[in-house]
Structure 1
Amino acid sequence: MTRLTGSALRVTVFVGENDIWHHKPLYSEIVHRAHAAGLAGASVFRGIEGYGASSLIHTSRLLSLSEDLPVAIVIVDSEERVRAFLPQLDELVTEGLVILDDCEVIRYVGRESREGKGGEPGRKGKKSL
């Protein structure tokens, strides 16, 4: 398990949800590559409205025809590990925005495995009372 506290670097990647990399969603490829690179974590957030360099507004409003909503992929890890991952983002993101922010990790804790602790093997979730 990766330990992460204190100073860190956050990379946020803004792309369209319909952006594709080799027949799969670009956001999914970014998350899987971050995982394979051993980065501390990655999350994908779907926007409800936005525009970028093309100046086309994409929205989820009912009367809109747009389905290519904005997506943000957020990855946090040490500066060294994030910067080592940037060449992969350079390869993947041909349209979009990639930004870096310094941040401070206050708490980074995963769920414990319940195997060997009296729980059901591999079962995830909270304990029931």
Structure 2
Amino acid sequence: MRGLVGRRKLLRIFISLEDKFEGKPLWEYILQLVKENGLAGATVFKAVAGIGSHSELKTFSVWRLSQNLPVVVEIIDREEKIKEFLKVIDSIIEEGLVVLEDVEVISYRHRRE
């Protein structure tokens, strides 16, 4: 799929592992929206620690049942597709950080089926 190679936009969404939308993990709901909106793809990273919007240290602890860890969702696509997607997700992110930056896609390959 050579169509993604070139100057593109990288959308990063910083949220919490415990964030939900309509009872579903927010990161999972965002991935569903990525697929429904035909974006090239997305990756979710779970961090081991971070400082959130309230300056609270969020870190892993074996003693806690729930782990409110930082999560980053990264999406790369054409600028126009990313900007349209931002309109879709605007109302579902109650708390978090959303950033957009320029990237140069060098290669984008997948196995043929």
TM-score range, shorter chain: over 0.9
Preserved contact between residue 58 and residue 66 of structure 1 (Cα < 8 Å): no
Q: Does 1:60 align with 2:60?
A: yes
Q: Does 1:13 align with 2:13?
A: yes
Aligned residues: 113
> Aligned equivalents of 1:35 and 1:19: distance in 2?
20
1:110–1:20 Cα change, 3 Å: same
State the partner residue of 1:123: none
Q: After the TM superposition, which parts of structure 1 deviate over 2 Å for at least 4 consecutive aligned residues? A: 61-66
Cα deviation, residue 65, structure 1: 7.2
> Aligned equivalents of 2:4 and 2:31: distance in 1?
18
Which structure is richer in relative contact order (CA contacts within 8 A, separation 6 or more)? 2
State the partner residue of 2:98: 98
Query: Structure 1: which amino acid aligns with 2:54?
Result: S
TM-score, normalised to structure 2, is 0.92
Q: Does 1:44 align with 2:41?
A: no
> Aligned equivalents of 2:55 and 2:91: distance in 1?
23
TM-score, normalised to structure 1, is 0.81
Q: Which runs of no fewer than 5 residues in structure 2 stay unpaired? A: none
Preserved contact between residue 60 and residue 69 of structure 2 (Cα < 8 Å): yes
> Aligned equivalents of 1:13 and 1:53: distance in 2?
13
Q: Does 1:32 align with 2:32?
A: yes
Preserved contact between residue 2 and residue 40 of structure 1 (Cα < 8 Å): no
Which of 1 and 2 has greater Rg?
1
Secondary structure of residue in 2 paired with 1:82: helix
Q: Which runs of no fewer than 5 residues in structure 1 stay unpaired? A: 114-129
State the partner residue of 1:107: 107
State the partner residue of 1:117: none
Between Structure 1 and Structure 2, the one with more strand by share is: 2
Preserved contact between residue 2 and residue 107 of structure 2 (Cα < 8 Å): no
Preserved contact between residue 50 and residue 70 of structure 1 (Cα < 8 Å): yes
State the partner residue of 1:116: none
